[in-house]
Amino acid sequence: MRDFFVTFYLNSKQETRNKKQETRNKKQETRNKKQETRNKKQETRNKKQETRNKKQETRNKKQETRNKKQETKMNSRKDQLQAFDRLLTIMDELRAQCPWDQKQTMQTLRHLTIEETYELGDAILENDLDEVKKELGDVLLHIVFYAKIGSETSDFDIADVCNEISEKLIFRHPHIYGDVEVADEEEVKRNWENLKLKEGKKSVLEGVPKSLPALVKASRIQEKVAGVGFDWEEPQQVFEKLQEELGELQHEINENNLEKIEAEFGDVLFSMINYARFLKVNPENALERTNKKFIKRFQYLEGKAKEIDKSLKDMTLEEMDIFWNEAKTSIG
């Protein structure tokens, strides 16, 4: 009996100790939760401070940009003319002394000029103004180069080039340099094309370069004929025409006539480009942006494949789609 009471007593004491320990544990848990809450509040304060710091940093950068713009003084007309004269002098020196420059002809420069023009276009699309400035310099160099070559055969020089474009601009802007009145931009465009016909051109399409890329050429053709009134009235009409062309393409696909499929496909593209004009979208820029977007996403996919030590050829389309969708989310 004595052992029973001893055991009961010991168990009671142990139970009491356990309860006290449980109470201490709960208190500690409460303290931990309070500390966790304090930590979260501190973390929130830190994030808010970080956000404030970033905003302040952005404000500082904007102010710095404004200050730089204020400090940057645009060149005077005198400075501009001196810079152009310097370029002309350098061109004379290069043509007289540099073996490479001496060998160049209009024909050898042609493909380089096209390349420089595309590089300028890339810089404009990227909105990289520093690069635009550099590429404009390259294009200007080519203009000066061609004029120098022309002067050597006594056909024309840079003054003739400048005067030619000046006279053309004055003639084609009678609403500025004459007494013609125009209501809007569209009327200016129509007058422009009509004036070109008065200059002796047999067709409004005569000025479209044959070597233009097909997409750009289609866009210019449509702009020019629209300038003399050969155009749809509403975007919906163009969209309906596009749907009609798609139907004709599908018909030829069903007939499996490759020659007619190509012809109808061309009609679809031509209508798409025309529709872009009505939507005020530059189709060349739109397509190039899509090209760049695709390249970035595909390079992301290639990078992910390397991370898992796989070749794209060894991956399933489903596996590639996972990374492709990741790319759309992470890089746009």
CB count within 10 Å of CB 91 equals: 17
Two tokens, residue 175: 């609403």
- pTM summary value: 0.59
CA distance to 41, 64, 124, 136, per residue, from 127 (Å)? 42, 20, 5, 14
Give the chain's length: 332
What's the CA dihedral at 220, 222, 226, 230 to 10 degrees? 140
3-state DSSP call for residue 280? coil
Spatial separation of the C-alpha atoms in residues 224 and 274, rounded to whole Å? 12
Phi, psi of 210 (to 5 degrees): -65, -30
* Of 281, 263, 262, the residue nearest 272 (C-alpha): 281
Q: 174 CB contacts (<8 Å, ≥6 apart)? A: 180, 191, 195
Q: Are 201 and 207 in contact (CB under 8 A)?
A: yes
3-state DSSP call for residue 229? coil
Q: What is the pLDDT along the chain (332 residues), one digit of tens a residue?
A: 556 656 666 667 777 777 888 888 888 888 888 888 888 878 877 877 887 788 788 778 877 776 776 666 789 999 999 999 999 999 999 999 999 999 999 999 999 999 999 999 989 988 899 999 999 999 999 999 999 999 999 999 999 999 999 999 998 898 889 888 887 887 787 777 777 777 767 788 887 888 888 999 999 999 989 988 899 999 999 999 999 999 999 999 999 999 999 999 999 999 999 999 999 999 998 998 999 999 999 999 999 999 988 899 889 999 999 999 999 888 87
